[in-house]
Homo-oligomer: A and B are copies of this chain.
Amino acid sequence: MILTVTLNAALDITYRLPRLHTHTTNRVTEVTERPGGKGLNVARVLAALGHRTIATGFAGGGTGEALRALLTQESDVTDALVPVGGATRRTIAVVDETTGDTTQLNEPGPMVSPAEWDAFLGTYRELLGEARAVALCGSLPPGVPVDVYARLTRAARAAGVPVLLDTSGEPLRRGLAARPDLAKPNAEELAALTGSTEPLRAARDARRRGAHTVAASLGAKGILAVTADGVWQAAPPRPIAGNPTGAGDSAVAGLLSGLVENLPWPDRLIRAVALSAATVRAAAAGEFDPGTYEELLPRVVVTDHPTAA
């Protein structure tokens, strides 16, 4: 079983309207809702790849109930979200159909009490007992200690479970110090962490900060992995047009499934890049276009980096 952790899960709402006008009233023409939050997106892709997947984290309020219902209806992910008194946050994507642009409104998330945090830790430790890998994903809700990913990483390592960390800012910085097996920052997160906009230099810096391996997602340029055994970069064979939301989460699912299946690094990267590109071609985060995925798998280009790690 693969475990994913989403401490700040979200009910993702998409509003479509012909044109967004600010400072006045807009009638939304189409409303869609999905279970959201990076760890839940990762879980849905893992389940679609055939891996038994359990999702934990927090869910509460009417929005939490809606999220759990959608998760169960729309995927084979097992719901082990821990109840919380506050309401799961909403994230609202307002799509202007004239320009194609999206304006995103993200609520902060529920305040998590110390007792709720303790309940989560109990669930997490129990689930680690049967996990083959764990993904720690996304931002933190208010009330959760900022070093939470360091604590969860140490607990997983103590249980012998490999850890993938996908977050940003201070939670990433602190989490790296606990030596996760794999960190997957994107170029922006990597630059914010290290101060360097040169991906190879920044990824090496991130490794020195504690991650055993760093796989940096670089958008259209694919994924750069700096590992103990070497440096590889994998990229799609052509530019992929579409909606990049969730592409990074699908990359995480690709990397994590490759880890569990013990694939060589180049094969993990090929899978991650193909899944990522197939997500750009899908309607929503947490989904991917199977045709694009199958088509790209044999065509992703992997480069053995000239300078070793």
In the complex, the chain B residue whose C-beta lies closest to that of A94 is: B105
In the complex, the chain B residue whose C-beta lies closest to that of A23 is: B101
Which residue from B65, B103, B106, B107 sits with its C-beta under 8 Å from A22? B103
A282 part of interface (Cβ distance < 8 Å): no
CA distance A218 to B29 in the complex (A): 30
Chain B residues whose C-beta falls within 8 Å of the C-beta of A62 in the assembled complex:
62-63, 65-66
A20 part of interface (Cβ distance < 8 Å): yes
Q: A25, B66: Cβ atoms under 8 Å?
A: no
Q: Would A31 and B106 be within 8 Å (CB), given that A22-B101, A62-B65 are in contact?
A: no
- Distance of A261 from chain B, by nearest CB (Å): 34
Q: B104, A25: Cβ atoms under 8 Å?
A: yes
In the complex, the chain B residue whose C-beta lies closest to that of A67 is: B62
B-contacting residues, A81-136, CB 8 Å = 92, 94, 96, 99, 101-108
Q: Would A26 and B101 be within 8 Å (CB), given that A62-B63, A66-B62 are in contact?
A: no
Per assembly, the copies of the chain total 2
Which residue from B20, B28, B104 sits with its C-beta under 8 Å from A106? B28
A15 part of interface (Cβ distance < 8 Å): yes
A262 part of interface (Cβ distance < 8 Å): no
A24 part of interface (Cβ distance < 8 Å): yes
Chain B residues whose C-beta falls within 8 Å of the C-beta of A25 in the assembled complex:
104, 106
Q: B26, A108: Cβ atoms under 8 Å?
A: no
How big is chain A's contact interface, by range?
Answer: 20 to 34
Chain B residues whose C-beta falls within 8 Å of the C-beta of A101 in the assembled complex:
22-23
In the complex, the chain B residue whose C-beta lies closest to that of A21 is: B103
Chain B residues whose C-beta falls within 8 Å of the C-beta of A31 in the assembled complex:
107-108
CA distance A29 to B108 in the complex (A): 7
B-contacting residues, A1-51, CB 8 Å = 15, 17, 20-29, 31
Chain B residues whose C-beta falls within 8 Å of the C-beta of A23 in the assembled complex:
96, 99, 101-103
CA distance A25 to B245 in the complex (A): 12
Which residue from B15, B20, B61, B103 sits with its C-beta under 8 Å from A26? B103
Query: Of residues A22, A25, A29, A99, which shows the largest number of chain B Cβ atoms within 10 Å of its Cβ?
Result: A22
The 6 tightest CB contacts between A and B, nearest first, are A62-B62, A25-B104, A23-B101, A22-B103, A62-B66, A28-B107
CB<8 Å pairs between A and B, sample of 14 = A15-B107, A20-B22, A21-B103, A23-B99, A23-B103, A24-B104, A25-B104, A27-B106, A27-B108, A28-B105, A28-B107, A29-B108, A62-B63, A62-B65
Given contacts A22-B101, A62-B62, 18 further A-B contacts (CB under 8 A): A15-B105, A17-B105, A20-B22, A20-B103, A21-B103, A22-B22, A23-B96, A25-B106, A26-B104, A27-B106, A27-B108, A28-B106, A28-B108, A29-B108, A31-B107, A62-B63, A62-B66, A94-B105
